[in-house]
Amino acid sequence: MAVLEILLWPDERLRRPSLAVEAFDAEFQAFVADLEETRRAGPAAVGIAAPQVGRHQQVVIVDCSQTRRPVPNHGWLVLVNPQILSWEGHAMGREGCLSVPDYTGNVLRAERITLRAHDPDGQMHEYDMEGFEARAVQHELDHLDGRVFLDRVVSRHTDVFRRKQYT
């Protein structure tokens, strides 16, 4: 296993969309192991996406089981070819990124999502996610589309916004 080099913004490779994974072979498994080692080597990252290390394939890792205050989570997940099937609600939260050091900002994300993804062995799963874990997945999936959270920062300091009234 190896710790891979994290691309840093504004490296244009972070803007490149990723392609679907087709071969769930030994080389791919080895890459996933390296990606996880890279995530763990960083500063308390709950997620990482393949394009952050220059591999433009649709694979991300998230693990929201170690937050300061426990949040609903599915533990350590490798999500391959992930697709969000539905979104619900919205919430503001502070985000940072391994590829955007020394900056955090508030980003609006869907509060709940339903996600479909392969695991590293090619099996398909569906997940209902909420809150912090849903945010982490949306942050990582943005990387697969060539986006970073800076593209979505609403406010650096405050989260005051008019709440939508549902009647």
Partner 1 sequence: MKNWYMLTVVGADRAGIVARLTRELFDAGAYLGEASMLRLGGNFTIMLMVCGTWSADGLRERLSAVAGEWGLRVHVDAIEGGLHQHVLPDVRVHVHGADRVGIVAEVTEVLARLDVNILSLDSDVGGVHAAPFYVMQIEGVATAGVGAVEAALEPLRARGIDVRVETIETLVG
Binding mask 106-145 for partner 1 (x = CB under 8 A): --------------------------x--xx--xx-----
Count of residues touching partner 1 (by CB under 8 A): 31
Q: Is 157 annotated as a binding residue?
A: no
Site for partner 1 in 56-85 (CB under 8 A): 62, 67-69, 71
The pair phi, psi for residue 40, each rounded to 5°, is -70, -25
162 forms part of the interface with partner 1 (CB under 8 A): no
Q: Is 97 annotated as a binding residue?
A: yes
Name the maximum alpha-carbon separation found in the chain. 54
CA-CA-CA-CA torsion sign (13, 18, 23, 26) = positive
102 forms part of the interface with partner 1 (CB under 8 A): yes
Characterize 90-128 residue by residue with b for buried, 16 or more Cβ atoms within 10 angstroms of its Cβ, and e for exposed. ebbbebbbbbbeeeebbbbbbbebebebbebeeeeeebe
Catalytic residue list contains 126: no
Residue placing its CB nearer to partner 1 in the complex, 83 or 104:
104
- Looking at 26-34, 78-86, 121-129, 152-160, which segment touches partner 1 (CB under 8 A)? 152-160
**CB–CB of 140/152 below 8 Å?**
no
CA-CA-CA-CA torsion sign (97, 15, 113, 107) = positive
- The binding site for partner 1 (CB under 8 A) comprises 42-49, 62, 67-69, 71, 93-98, 102-104, 132, 135-136, 139-140, 157-160
List residues with catalytic annotation.
Answer: 140
Question: From the annotation, which residues make up the binding site for Fe cation?
Answer: 97, 139, 143
